Amino acid sequence: MRRTLSLIAILSSYAMLATLLIPTPYWISKTNRIYADREAMEGNWLYEFRDVTQGLALLLLVWGYVLLRISMRRVTVLPNEYLDERQIANRDWAFKAGYLVVRRIGFAVALLFAFLATFGNQMTGFSAGYSTTAKSFRALERYLSDLSMEDPFGFYFKVFLLLAFVAYSFPMILLAWREARFPEPVPEMLETKVLNPRETSAKFYFKAIKWLGIFVSVAASMYISPALFMFIGPLIYLILVLFIYVAIPGALVLFAWASITTAKGIRAAKKIGLASEQHKRWANISTAFLTMTLFIGIAVGTIMYIGLSKMPYGFPVLGYALIIGLFMIPNQAISIAFYAKLKTKEDLV
């Protein structure tokens, strides 16, 4: 699996680079505004293939790296005392060699463009530069400018994203490829911690939030490219149905359950008696963030009611409700985190 993820990361980065090297045809209006030439692109398989491939490469690039980091988190995160000599040696070699290769590639590209910027400009700057070399440099110059002419911000965003991906993923790929030859030892659990009801509720909440976040991230990544969206339309429809009928109602139920559980739990803990003054402060902090969460929830519900009652002019208002509603998640997470820390006098017996 690690080698498969490594190959996916390598192939997707090459596919991404290949699609970036295909310029978009454009035309310039009388007001010097630049637009994509849709007529030249319509019915051309090259641009359809480029857009679909670029969207799929971005999708595999991002998720391949995420899964690779998860797969290698033990070797890359744990201190040396929890690893054997082989794992430490492989980790040190991979990061040292990976960053060395990335630095040298970056330096080589810088030297290449330094050569083009000096020698190429001199060749194309001659008034009588109609030789084959001068024409080649002018054609290369025009090609490089055409790459980002139609959408410079989008083009350079993808270029820098690809560069960042290579810089971060290449050492991880080297490490994963070496570590794939050896079975990873599974540590034995010497002691199982018994969770109290507050810790159990918090564990369930954060696990549910994690899976909701993964689902929303996967759904959002499907919209990374319009061409990819059209290409995997049935899958997008299935995800959209699950998002509307499962994720949204599930998030609302989780929000209500967490709010009720936190409020009842803090009240019961105070009635029994908290273990110390520090736990009393944590109870107050949890209550404060719970109160902010409920106020935000009331505000979001009110805004949504106003927006839905004034359709179709209510769509911008619903967008504001979504943005404000995002603040409920960290507030409630902080409230649950402090709630899980609470200990009563009964817990100390």
Residues 201 and 167 in one domain: no
Are the beta carbons of 279 and 347 closer than 8 angstroms? no
Is 145's pLDDT higher than 80?
Answer: yes
Element spanning 248, H or E: helix 248-272
* Token pair for 326: 């995002």
269 — pLDDT class (breaks 50, 70, 90): confident
Q: Do both 227 and 271 map to the same domain?
A: yes
pLDDT(185) > 70? no
* CA dihedral of residues 215, 220, 224, 227 (deg, nearest 10): 90
Assess whether 169 and 287 both reside in one domain.
no
Is residue 152 located within the same domain as residue 8? yes
Number of domains in the chain: 2
Say if residues 23 and 149 touch (Cβ distance below 8 Å): yes
Burial, 264: exposed, middle or buried (Cβ in 10 Å; 0-12, 13-18, 19+)? Answer: exposed
At 310 the pLDDT is 64
pLDDT number for residue 123? 65
In a domain, 98, yes or no: yes
Task: Find the domain containing 116 and state its range.
Answer: 2-179
This model's pTM is above 0.85: no
Ranking 85-89, 182-186, 214-218, 319-323 by mean pLDDT, the lowest is 182-186
Does a structural domain hold residue 192? no
Q: Where is the domain boundary, 179, 205, 240? A: 179
152 and 93 in a single domain? The answer is: yes
Question: Do 17 and 166 lie in a common domain?
Answer: yes
Report residue 167 as tokens.
Answer: 């810089």
**145 closest CA partner among 23, 40, 38, 19:** 23
Residue 251 has pLDDT above 70, yes or no: yes
Q: Is beta strand 34-36 parallel, antiparallel or unpaired with respect to 26-28?
A: antiparallel
Q: Would you tell me how many other CB atoms lie within 10 Å of the CB of residue 51?
A: 20
Predicted pLDDT of residue 30: 82
**pLDDT for the residue 231:** 62
Query: Is there a domain that residue 153 lies in?
Result: yes
Same domain, 108 and 203: no
CB of 49 within 8 A of CB of 1? Answer: no
Q: According to the model, what pLDDT value does residue 206 have?
A: 92
DSSP conformation letters of 126-185: -TT--SHHHHHHHHHHHHHHHHHHS-HHHHHHHHHHHHHHHHHHHHHHHHHHHHTTSPPP
Query: Are 297 and 257 in the same domain?
Result: yes
Predicted confidence (pLDDT) per residue in 60-99, tens digit: 888 888 888 888 888 888 888 888 888 888 889 988 998 8
Task: Classify residue 188: in a domain, yes or no.
Answer: no
Q: Are residues 236 and 300 in the same domain?
A: yes
